[in-house]
Structure formats: C-alpha cells, structure tokens
Structure 1
Amino acid sequence: MREFSLPALYEVPTDGNLTDLIRRNAAQHPDVAVMGRKVAGVWTDVTARQFLAEVRAAAKGLIASGVRPGDRVGLMSRTRYEWVLLDFAIWSAGAVTVPVYETSSAEQIQWILGDSGAVAVLVESDAHAAAVDSVRDRLPELHSVWQIERDGVGELVAAGAEVDDATVDERSASAKADDPATIVYTSGTTGRPKGCVLTHRSFFAECGNAVERLKPLFRTGECSVLLFLPAAHVFGRLVEVAAVMAPIKLGCVPDIKQLTDELASFKPTLILGVPRVFEKVYNAARAKAQADGKGAIFDKAARTAIDYSRALSTPSGPSMGLRLRHKVFDLLVYRKLRAVLGGRGEYAISGGAPLGERLGHFFRGIGFTVLEGYGLTESCAATAFNPWDRQKIGTVGQPLPGSTVRIADDGEVLLHGEHLFQGYWNNESATAEALTDGWFHTGDIGTLDEDGYLTITGRKKEILVTAGGKNVAPAVIEDRIRGHALIAECMVVGDGRPFVGALVTLDEEFLGRWAAEHGKPAGATAASLREDPELLAEVQKAVDDGNAAVSKAESVRKFRVLPSQFTEEAGHITPSLKLKRNVVAKDFADEIESIYRG
C-alpha cells in the first residue's frame, strides 16, 4: 500500500455557500468582465455587477414560483450563458441543481428528475420540453417547467418582480457548506445512473485548491476560459465554479462544430477539454497539411516538437541543433497551430480519458502545454492534475492539495479529502460499497511514483482475463491505437478468449480525405471500405503501434472494422465520450464472434 498527499492551499469556509462568490466578485471586482455572452453573434462582456443582478432577478422568480430551500431543480440545456446564470440562480434560491444532459432520452429524464424528486426543471429547447412533457405524468412532484429558448429567464424575472431583496438575501444564505449544492448523475457506463451528492464544501475544496495550485492560469483581468464541455458534466461544473472563484472571464459554446471559429473570436488563455478534442486538432492539422502537399513538413515538425518536449524533461535539455529546428518549425507550423487554438493560450487541461504521451509531448513541443488530470463525478471532477510548473507527461499528476491518494494492495486507487461526494442519493447500499471510513474506492487501477505522480493503468472491472490467464488492461493499447488519424474509437475484447482482439471505428472526417488520396470511390463510407485491403493495412499500422506498448500476450492479434461509429444516441458512449463496454459488446456480439471464429 502506498499513499501521497499535499497540504491544502485553500482554506475551505466553515460556513457559507457558492453564492458568496458572486457577491464577493460584485463587491471587489464590480466592473471586471466575469462572463462572455454571445449577442447577435458577437461576444459581449458581462461584468461581475451585472451577473449578480441577473442571477438575483432569476432567483426571485424561482422563489415566487414556489421553489423552497433544499428543493431539487432540474437544468437541461446545452452549454450556454444561461446555464451558468440559472445554476447560480438555483443556488441563490436555496435550492439544489440537478443537471440533465441535453441529449438524454425521455426515460433518462424521467429517472433523473423522478429519483431526485425535482419540483421544477429549466429546459432549453422545444425538443427538451416535449421530452419532459412525455413523462410528466410519472413525475408527481414536478410542478414547474421553463424553457430558455421561449424566454424562460424573462418569465422568471417577471414572476419575481414582487419579491424583495431581503427575501433573496435570506434564501442565498440558507444553504450551509455541508449542504448539497448539486446532484450529478453518473454517466451510467455500468448500469442505471446514480446521483452523486456534491456539497458546497466539495466545490470550495476542489476549485479553491485547483485555482491556487494553477494560479498563473487564473489571473483576474488577464485570463479567460472557453467552456465547450457539457455543463451538465462535473468537469464542466469545475470550469464554471473555478472561473467564478478566481474570477476570470468565462465563455460558453453550445455547439462544438463551430469550436475553431469560437476559439478564434473569444481568444481564451485557457482551454479545458477531453483527449478527443486535442486528437481532432492534431489530426485535422495533419490532414490539411497533407492536402496542401505539406505532409512531410508537418510530420517533421511533429517529430521535432515531440523530441523537443522530451528533451525538456532531461537534465541537459534540448541540444543546440534541436533548438534551431524547433525555432524554424515554430515559424512554419507551430504558431499556426496555436492560432487555431485561439492564439493567446499557453495551457490546456485535459481529463475524462487518457491523453497519451505522444499528444502530450506534441502539444508541449508546439508551445501549448496540455496538463493532464484525473477525476470522477464522486471526486467533484479533478482529484489529481499536473502542476503547471512540474509537469510529468504520461501521468495524471499529483493529488489535489488538501487530499490524499492511496494505492491499495490490489492496485485500486483510493481517495480521501473534503472534495469527495457525500454519497449516492437514495442509494445507501451503493454508498456503503463505494465509501469505507472516508475513503472512496474509485474502481481504477493505478500507481504512484516517488514524487506522488499518479498513473492510471485501467479499470478493475475492465481488466480482461484471456483463456490463458493473462490479465489485460485495455486502456493502454486502446489509447495508442486511437492515436492514428483514421481511428475514431477502439475497444479491446478478449475476456475468456484465446487471444486479444479489437473493434475499431473510423473517423468519418479523416476517412473522406484518406479515400480521396487512395483513389477510392467518391462518397465511400466505413461500411463500403471495411474490407478494403489498403484500408485494413492502414488500420493494421495503428494496431501495430498499439501492440508496441504492451507484451505479446496483451497485443491485439485480430481486429474488425465496424460499419458505423459508436454513438451516444445508440447508447455506446456517454456524453463525456466514455465507452459503455457492455452495450458495445452486446450490440456488436456478432462482430466479436467473427474475430474468434475458425
């Protein structure tokens, strides 16, 4: 057993709640832009004073509509300014926010709102309103529904016109540090979602210590962050609360299809994303270079960036020749890539899945450092992250200051600290199974090095045991295979089988470029090319690269290219892009059998 901890850098308030932050900002930084809001297609600043006023007005409407202290209020929307506004309005009414993914099915909506006992819900669109309406007869406690796109915020403001300031002040102060702030339902990778109860203390401990440890990334009046992750996900909430706590300007993007344009117009200094976002940036840049006849230059620049980053971790640092090559490629390639990311940023934080050393070194090598972290809904997002001044690429960093990470005898990662969840809502048995004497059992397998840097090697429940008795952790090889531009997703299989296999899906955007370059018919799809010898040879290169990271017994011997991608709509992935392995295995059982047939 091994454990590591760091002293707290932030003193968690003994009382109070998250609404204290917006009142403090309005008092200390009244004219500082704390939000960026899109108005008629143009980013417009919202000052701390303005934000507080808008939050209070919406909170009055909730109070006037019968929302009481401790009530649960659902919030179902894409990531947009109103999400943050209404989140703080719910807290200012003394209530508890229950996020619902905007992609949720009617059945999921019914479960989350019903299980939490929500008395009201704020939705974004007609489709969301219709989905709620379709299950409303099964939600006896739900009495109010507002829709953002039909001036729901305006309705709240009008409804609360007669509520006085003293009432909203009293409600804002009603929740204490150990009271629930939100109930965030897990993605449900292993079954029906469980509601994680996160308190105001959880967020204070999480965001306060993260902001202090990453202080150069959170300079008030200088820094900004663009949130394009789902605000309903705990990682998105970390971004929201940390930005308000600092405070730095926060912008929200509801549609990541326009992400490149939004980065260029908002120009954030900090980006938070999942590995797939950074893979897309790399693959799109490489594909564009190849289309322009500059593929060889890009590949040389990429190798130089990776070599340069690796050399930064050595005592002697980069050689003179490497520094010169790096400077040349900075002029030719790297500055253009930084411009794609907004042009002002130097740092990003990545979580949700393994980033991989290759991408980590590439981005640091181009002058845009991606700090990898690790966390779960139960740990209020990040429970470990790489410090800005002592990054170890390939690890998920050191524990959140004020918390402890322990590696149990069986390799499981255990967590302890004020940032942890209180328990699962209405589920005492699951709580007792996950929490033992204040230690949360993550279900992840990992190691700690001598400096307290954590490396995650897999999931306890995802460890495959082949027929030959070999334990295989899928994450390592899957990450390497996904690193190829042509690969969208990869799922390793082989539990109880004679060898390890893999299901592979293709990146639709890159597939079109690859098909054109290799003389395939216009409009060729994964379904039409999945047996194409040239395509299979290209996928084999990705598999070979993955196999290089593991032992022979753990390597993928056969794979199947699937005719379609894993989608959230089909239930194959969660909104945070995690694979639901049991669903994929069930839906593609025939494909898995074909790997082992004969």
Structure 2
Amino acid sequence: MSSIPALLRDRIAETPDAEAYRVPSGDGWTSLSWREVGERVRELALGLSELGSGPGNRVSILCSTRLEWILADLAVLSTGAATTTIYPSNTADECAFVINDSGSTIVVAEDEGQVAKLRSVREELPGVTHVVVVDGSPSDDGWVVTLASVKGGKGDYDAMVDAIAQDDLATLIYTSGTTGRPKGVELTHDNWLYTAQAVREVGLIGPSDLHFLWLPLSHSFGKLLEVVMIAMGVPTVIDGRLDKIADNLGVVRPTVMAAAPRIFEKIHNTVVATQQREGGLKLRIFTWARKTGIRVSRARQRGAAVPLTTRVEYAIADRLVFSKLRARFGGRIRFFISGAAPLSQDIAEFFDAAGLTILEGYGLTESSAGSFLNRPESVKFGTVGLPFPGTEVRIADDGEILIGGRGIMRGYHGLPEETAEALADGWLHTGDIGELDEAGRLRITDRKKELIKTSGGKYVAPTYLEGRIKAACPYASHVFVHGDRRNYVTALVTLDMDVVKPWAQAEGLPLDPAELREHPRMREEVEKAIKQVNDGLASYATVKRFAILAEDFTVETGELTASLKIKRKAVEERHGGVLDSLYEV
C-alpha cells in the first residue's frame, strides 16, 4: 500500500456497498456507501487538480468536523498534494501564519464567516490563488469558488493516485503551541498507513462497529481516526456540533467513540453533581454503587477473581445505577478511547465501574497521534497501555519518553535545527516524563518542561494534581496548579457553570460567577475537594491556597490550546496578580 488514496481505493473495491459515513440531514440522517464516497472524492480531486492542486503543493482546510472535511482531505491527497489543517477557532492572523508558513495555494473554508477571516488578511496571502467555500457564494473576482462547482476535469484520477509514493508528504499539522510559535509537523502517507496497520494488528475494531466522530479533524487524533476507519471498513457517524453529542449518542447508538478527557470529566461531574443535589436515598444508593463498581474494576485490573457476594452487589448496583448511565450513550458502547491529554485515574475507574471502559492512549502529533493504547483485555488505569506493534520506546536517564518507529514524523516544516533536536539519536524526544511497568505499559507522570520545582527544591507534577482535583470536585471546569520557584503550591480553579448553576439555584446562591466564586459555600466545595486530594500527598506537594476565577479558561482568551490543554505561560501572564496574591502573608 503506497498512499491513503490507494487505501481508499482498496476499501471501495473490497466493500463498495457497505456504509462508509452517516451524516445529519434535516431531522434525520443520510448514509453514503464507500462507492459513493469514492465517486465524490474522484470528482473533487479532478476539480482541485484543475485549480492547481498537485504534487508538491499544499491545500489548507479551515473547517469544522463534517463530511466535506474528509472528502476535501481525500481529494487533496489524491492529487498528490498535502493537506494543511487549520482549527476553525483560529484568528485571522493565526490562519494567515499557517497558510503562509505551509505555502498553501488553495484554502477550503467552511462558510462565509471563515471566508471573511481570509478576506481580512487577503493582502498577507499573496500565494493563495483560490478559496473554496463549502457553504457560501462565489466572489465576482473568482478568488472564492464554491465546493459544489469544483468537480470533474480532464485528468486521470487513477494515474494521479498511482504516482503517490509512501514517503510523500500527506499532512502538515501545526502543533497547538503551549509555548512559542506553532511548528508544522510533516507527516507522510506511510506515517498514517503505519497507524492503520497497527490498529488492524491489535484487532480492536471491525466493520460491525459503528464509530461516532465529533473530534476536530484539524487535530492529529481526528485525522488518525479518519484513516483507521477507512483501513478497517468501519462506518462512521460524523457530526462535529458539540451541543449535539449527548442527543446523537442516544439516537445513533455507536459502539465506539473517541474523545478528549474534558468530555469525560464533564459527563462525570454532571452525574455526580446531579446525585449530590438530589441527596437522600438516591445519593446513598449512587455512592454505594460507585464504591461497589470501583472494587470490581480494580479486581479486574489486577486479574483477581471477584467474590460471589461482590458480584451479587454489583449486579444490583448495575440495575439501579449503571445501566441507566449506559442507556444515555445508546446502550451499545463497547469502549471509549481517550487521548490528547491525561485522563484522571479516578474518572477512568468510575466509567469502568459503569461498564463504559475508557481505553486511554498516547501519542504526539509528531508520532502520528497513536503510539500507545490500553487493550480491553489488559486495561490498567493510570497508564496509556502498551505500544502499538512496530512502535519502540525507551526511557532516557532523565525520565524522558523516547519513541521510534514508522509513525514518527519526517520533521518540522522549514525548521532543520528544531527537527534535529526533536529527532536526536534517531528517537523522537517527546518532552514527557514517564516509566514502564512490569508488563511494558507506559505511565506518564508529567511534561518535562512543566514540572514544578519549589523553592525548597522539591519537584511537583502539576497535571497529576489538576486531574485529581477536577475528579474530586464536580463543579470545577479547569484547575491550574502553580508553585515553580515558590515556597508552596497554589491553584487557580474555574467553574463549570453548566454543572454549577442547578446546584447554586437549589442552594439559593448567586448565579453570577463573579459573586459566586467568593461565596463561602462555593469555596467550601472546592476546599473539600482539594483537602481530599491533599490527604494522600507529601506535604510539599499539597495545595496550600487557592483562588476561584470568575471566568473559565477558553481557546478564545488564549488560555487553552485548540485541543483544550492549558497554556501555562498564558495563564501565568493573564492571572499573575491573582497568583501573586496567594503568596502574600
């Protein structure tokens, strides 16, 4: 197999009439077979070729997750060009940087709003010959054309696909940039084909599954899922609207769904807060069921037998509590997959107790998103599982995780020095600190550059603490742990108002976050969670003081990356005054 378009062509030949994608249509859903997908990709590829897409070119996609994103991506690749992904939340200036740095000559834009961004910086985009709009109108000067009009042509589609080599550039993905300017990660067709082959060897999914995709396709995790599902012939329901996730799960009833930890945290916190608000017998039953389920989950992880009495208790807990939670997700979920950021072990065990196992994995954009994954038969929460077949791992003397294998990037676009540093000695230097357990599963303890060193010389892992506090406090949206070169550790907490509001109303508390954050009852709830986490820690690692912020961290305010990871320097700069106040005597 030489390329992603060749992979698609083989899929069409093998299962032409099987369902490939299912998409929203009015009040219902419309399905496309692999044959129909192939026809649309062929038409679009020939049309893009006439616009100038071809070997050595780049085409940017500025669009949310929807069928047209995948069709455009596959069509671009079929011409021999590479796709550059841009998050739809990016500002006009950020879009201009990616387009120019990548050398993109065509941009596929979702709608008039995204076109307006490009128009506002058009003078800075001299290399862009055409903007192809999915939902919108063409411009009089021909700079903007519609996707519907880009079809057909005189080229030879199969000849274009046959000319693509494994080592040709397929995707240019710009890292989220928690520090510094984003770097363009060059991923080849072979990088993606490797991940598809690895998933096939693991035997995790198959054509009888139904995959629900809402993750950003601009992110390497979403792109990985796109390629894997083509390789495995798994039908995919596509709907990138975040406000529709809960409704869609109940309607389409998928068997597999991938998500970032924030989604699982929000579901967990909503369930826990609802039970706490109802109180009484319901809360006691829920608390008992949770403890029973976690006992069973931990026994399974150890490979230990579950006593008969516990099995009976679990059956009751399942009927009273867990079966209702599974029904919210359509009742057919075999497992979830979590990636892009660390998942709290507490939340993972809660979902496993409910019969909704989350398989946490790990990879970087630089390693084609997928390098490690927990397997259903050997899950160990708190780890990211075993490496994929063909992926090599080493732990450096300083604890840094080093990865090798076919999934590793070609390099950073136009940045030879950064490439040499990242790929020193033939290994990808991840920047993450971790360790391997006796079975070869990887445990990640923190980011190398994010470890806090207190003024007393003690090292503290902030993301570990942040995850534990969020799991303990259902009202917290984000937690930021601070203390580098300080004499103790502090934290900033933001509120998840979707979860907080019903509780605040029931308690007769103010609903304005600016007032609520200072209210003794609100502080009591956060303090209780922090104390719970502190109780199991060494004194130097405990959070001594905290502040609740009036506004949440967001991508738009610059405190989160597009994949919802905290930009630590941005938070420190924006909330420096609050942080300093936590150290005042």
Q: Shorter-chain TM-score category?
A: over 0.9
Helix, strand or coil: the match of 2:164? coil
Contact 1:63/1:160 (8 A) holds in 2: no
Cα distance in 1, alignment partners of residues 151 and 241 from structure 2: 31
Contact 2:133/2:145 (8 A) holds in 1: no
Counterpart in 1 of 2:509?
Answer: 520
Shift of 1:290: 4.3
- For structure 1, the residue ranges without an aligned partner over 5 or more in a row are 1-12
Contact 1:373/1:385 (8 A) holds in 2: yes
TM-score (norm 2): 0.96
Call closer, same or farther: CA 1:119–1:339 in 2, change over 3 Å: same
Counterpart in 1 of 2:309?
Answer: 321
Of 150-159 and 462-471, deviating more is 150-159
Helix, strand or coil: the match of 2:347? helix
Counterpart in 1 of 2:561?
Answer: 574
For the pair 1:445 / 2:433, whether they are aligned, the reply is: yes
Cα distance in 1, alignment partners of residues 476 and 50 from structure 2: 52
Cα distance in 1, alignment partners of residues 367 and 419 from structure 2: 13
Counterpart in 1 of 2:141?
Answer: none
Cα distance in 1, alignment partners of residues 541 and 20 from structure 2: 49
Cα distance in 1, alignment partners of residues 17 and 536 from structure 2: 52
Call closer, same or farther: CA 1:388–1:531 in 2, change over 3 Å: same
Cα distance in 2, alignment partners of residues 151 and 87 from structure 1: 21
Deviations 1:502-554 (A, max 9, x none): 11111111111221232213xx1321122211211110111122223431111
Map 1:127-526 to 2 at 5 A. 127-150=113-136, 155-156=146-147, 158-164=149-155, 167-213=156-202, 215=203, 217-220=204-207, 222-292=208-278, 294-483=282-471, 484-521=473-510, 524-526=511-513
Contact 1:94/1:173 (8 A) holds in 2: no
Shift of 1:133: 1.2
Deviations 1:446-500 (A, max 9, x none): 0111211110001111011111111111121111001121111111111111111
Instruction: Find 2:94's aligned residue among 98, 102, 108.
Output: 108
Cα distance in 2, alignment partners of residues 285 and 367 from structure 1: 15
Helix, strand or coil: the match of 1:395? coil
Helix, strand or coil: the match of 1:94? coil
Counterpart in 2 of 1:565?
Answer: 552
For the pair 1:89 / 2:89, whether they are aligned, the reply is: no
Call closer, same or farther: CA 1:402–1:130 in 2, change over 3 Å: same
Shift of 1:288: 3.4
Count, aligned residues: 577
Call closer, same or farther: CA 1:254–1:154 in 2, change over 3 Å: farther
Contact 1:43/1:266 (8 A) holds in 2: no
For 1:590, give the aligned amino acid: G
Helix, strand or coil: the match of 1:455? strand
Helix, strand or coil: the match of 1:545? helix
Instruction: Find 1:591's aligned residue among 564, 568, 578.
Output: 578
Deviations 1:54-76 (A, max 9, x none): 11111111011122212100001
Contact 1:60/1:156 (8 A) holds in 2: no
Call closer, same or farther: CA 1:423–1:173 in 2, change over 3 Å: same
Shift of 1:155: 4.1
Counterpart in 2 of 1:42?
Answer: 28
Map 1:1-150 to 2 at 5 A. 13=1, 16-150=2-136
Higher-RCO chain (CA-CA 8 Å, sequence separation at least 6): 1
Cα distance in 2, alignment partners of residues 368 and 349 from structure 1: 10
Contact 1:480/1:545 (8 A) holds in 2: no
For 2:157, give the aligned amino acid: V
Cα distance in 2, alignment partners of residues 19 and 464 from structure 1: 45
Of 178-187 and 286-295, deviating more is 286-295
Deviations 1:228-256 (A, max 9, x none): 11110000111111111101011212211
Contact 2:80/2:163 (8 A) holds in 1: yes
Cα distance in 1, alignment partners of residues 137 and 532 from structure 2: 52
For 1:150, give the aligned amino acid: G
- For structure 2, the residue ranges without an aligned partner over 5 or more in a row are 139-143
Of 273-282 and 574-583, deviating more is 273-282
Cα distance in 2, alignment partners of residues 235 and 138 from structure 1: 30
